[in-house]
Chains A and B, each alone.
Chain A
Amino acid sequence: MSVTTMPERPPVTPEHAVFLLREMLRIRRFEEKAAEMYSLGKIHGFLHLYIGEEATGVGSMQAFTPDDAIVATYREHGHALARGMPARVLMAEMYGKVTGCSHGHGGSMHFFDTNRRFYGGYAIVGGGLPIAIGLALADQMQNRQAITACYFGDGAVAEGEFHESLNLAALWKLPVVFLCENNLYAMGTALERHQAQTDISRKAAVYGLSASAVDGMDVLAVEAATREAAASVRGGKGPYLLELRTYRFRAHSMADPDLYRTKEEIAEWKKRDPIVLFQNRLRESGMLTDEIVARIEAEVGDEIGQAVQFAEESPREPVEDLLKEVGGQNRS
């Protein structure tokens, strides 16, 4: 088990570097706006922000092709954006509008996109893992080259589904990359209070999976590690567990008073803000200027602004549709 650390020189072209930065900023600004709209009462229900974890979603998503399948968690705004789902259909979903990706049925935790093989957010923690097994099994049975990326948090590792899924994936040599976004907390429960073995990547070994862990605040390291994991899976070596070590800067949800960790701990992690780290690094290597940053920010700002406008102006699903797409028998 190795922790991939930041390489000395970024093996990255300026175009790709700017692209990664831009992707992370899209998520950050999207969520800041969502939080603002939540406090204005435009978005209701539960809202779980990914802020601080952008490098894990953006870096890892680079390793997957449009043919690959993505299974996300319930904290999935970042995964959806990085997968290419338009900000406006996500914002509309969070507003509960009919133009949202799930017609407003699901809200923030239940993004789906059939065209992009984005197989959903899962609000039942751990629920997505065995679904990933099914997706990968189907691809394998059809001799498709596609692989499945399955994201989940450190908390999900305690559910039986994690263990059932790792075993099945290894037993059947299924093409799955399991991506554990370990942000050190499951709601208010710290990792060492919910896991006896806190090195999650080590859990893979007993099931016969390859595994590694990577600094989740370093977008390039995440990308490199995920490419390696994906290559191993594509090469027929069976499933792979990649642990992305990260931290959420915001509370578990908008309703969480965040009293279970110290301000100092949060401040310490914020020094490793993945966006700031990456920007500094690019500036040092001469790939980034104030001008470029300003341009990206302006473009991202426009995109998010338009997403909000789209969500605001979109209609709601008609009430008569309450019983549409229920499936099953016709009921009374």
Chain B
Amino acid sequence: MSRTITLIEAVNEALSQEMERDDRVFLLGEDIGLSGGVFKATDGLLAKFGQERVLDTPLAEGAIIAAAIGSSMVGWRPVAEIQFADFITPATDQIIQQASKLRYRSAGGFTCPITIRVCCGGGGGSGLYHSQENAAWFAHEPGLKIVMPSTAYDAKGMLLAAIRDPDPVIFFEHKRLYRTVKDEVPEGDYTVPIGPAAVRREGRDLTILTYGSLTQPSLNAAADLSARNIEAEVIEIRTLAPLDKETILHSVRKTSKVLIVHEDKRTMGIGAELAAIVSEEAFEDLDGPIVRVTGPDVPAIPFAPPLDKAWQVDTHMIVAAAEKLAAY
């Protein structure tokens, strides 16, 4: 049985079902219990599972993540929440120096089966420190898995996969998608594997590689383009690490043109890595430059509405870039 629910409801359901299924799963984070989370992602879970398994923590991101890591080393399955991606920095030491390297430096003696749920993303006028989409910071670190779903179906299935994964997974939840995205989600247990990208629309003329908040605008752009006789294939890279090279390259070989679209800043970003992979492994198949449409290189999203808007990638920008690329 399935029904239509929002992305945030899917997150809540995945947490609840996995806590029922597996006693080793517990949650920790700021205001996740009594208040049910700033966005209500963990609403009702304290009442259901009690304070032994839903831990409200002090304001201490480093300790939140480190406590998750420590408990995971002895078999627990912690799911930590970082309230806004912008506040993850006090925990980066633990994520990058400890979690990502634990398996390697113990030669497989320990794994680190933690899940870090991070609410991210801009475009809502929330300003400098409540808007960042900083998955790329972590994508540079081997040992971490990074996912960012854009459908409720994937949110539930990938969160279940993340919690069951033996390695640390950073699970990015885009705040703008929480309640605007609604789709069919099975009531029961299922997983969406971490790794594979999803071909969201097939096309022969160019490949759009995208993820997160720009998945839907890319699909909208593809529909527009189709009306102008340009058929774009849209691939959602819902796992940013490890990247699904096979699906990406397969599409590039078919279309010979690549447009990369992401919300985050451009320089040294996810798009740069995607471009490098394509040019290294499918250079002969390319019929045009690899083009990026990304957020600008500003240190954080400014608060003022016109600047906030100017910062955002929208459907028009994707269409314009795709048309130019298609003309090659």
Contact = CB atoms under 8 A, between A and B. Distances in A.
A290 B138 CA distance: 61
B75 interface: no
Given A124-B89, A189-B30, A326-B299, A158 B304 contact: no
A316 interface: yes
Contact of A159 (B59, B129, B266): B59
A104 B58 contact: no
A26 interface: no
Given A124-B86, A187-B30, A187-B35, A322 B311 contact: yes
Contact of B302 (A44, A105, A155, A188): A105
Given A189-B58, A316-B306, A326-B299, A123 B31 contact: no
B307 to A, nearest CB: 5
Interface in B64-113: 86-87, 89-90
Contacts, number: 123
Given A159-B59, A160-B90, A322-B307, A123 B35 contact: no
Contact of B129 (A123, A156, A188, A323): A123
Chain B interface extent, by class:
35 or more
A143 interface: no
A332 B266 CA distance: 8
Contacts of A160: 60, 62-63, 90
Interface in A277-332: 316-317, 319, 321-323, 326-327, 331-332
Nearest to B61: A159
B58 A158 contact: yes
B129 A109 contact: yes
Nearest to A94: B303
A326 B86 contact: no
Instruction: Count chain A CB atoms within 10 A of each CB in B30, B86, B130, B266 and give the residue with the most.
Output: B30
A195 B60 CA distance: 11
B58 A105 contact: no
Contacts of B128: 105-107, 109-110, 123
B127 interface: yes
Given A259-B35, A322-B298, A332 B267 contact: yes
B127 A158 contact: no
Given A159-B60, A159-B90, A160-B63, 11 more contacts: A105-B302, A109-B127, A123-B129, A126-B90, A187-B31, A194-B57, A195-B58, A260-B35, A316-B304, A317-B304, A331-B266
25 contacts: A98-B304, A104-B303, A105-B303, A106-B128, A107-B304, A123-B128, A123-B129, A124-B87, A156-B59, A158-B60, A159-B60, A160-B60, A160-B62, A188-B34, A188-B35, A193-B56, A194-B56, A195-B58, A259-B35, A316-B306, A317-B307, A323-B297, A323-B298, A326-B297, A331-B267
Nearest first, the 9 closest Cβ-Cβ pairs linking A and B are A158-B58, A104-B304, A107-B303, A96-B304, A123-B129, A188-B35, A194-B58, A331-B297, A319-B310
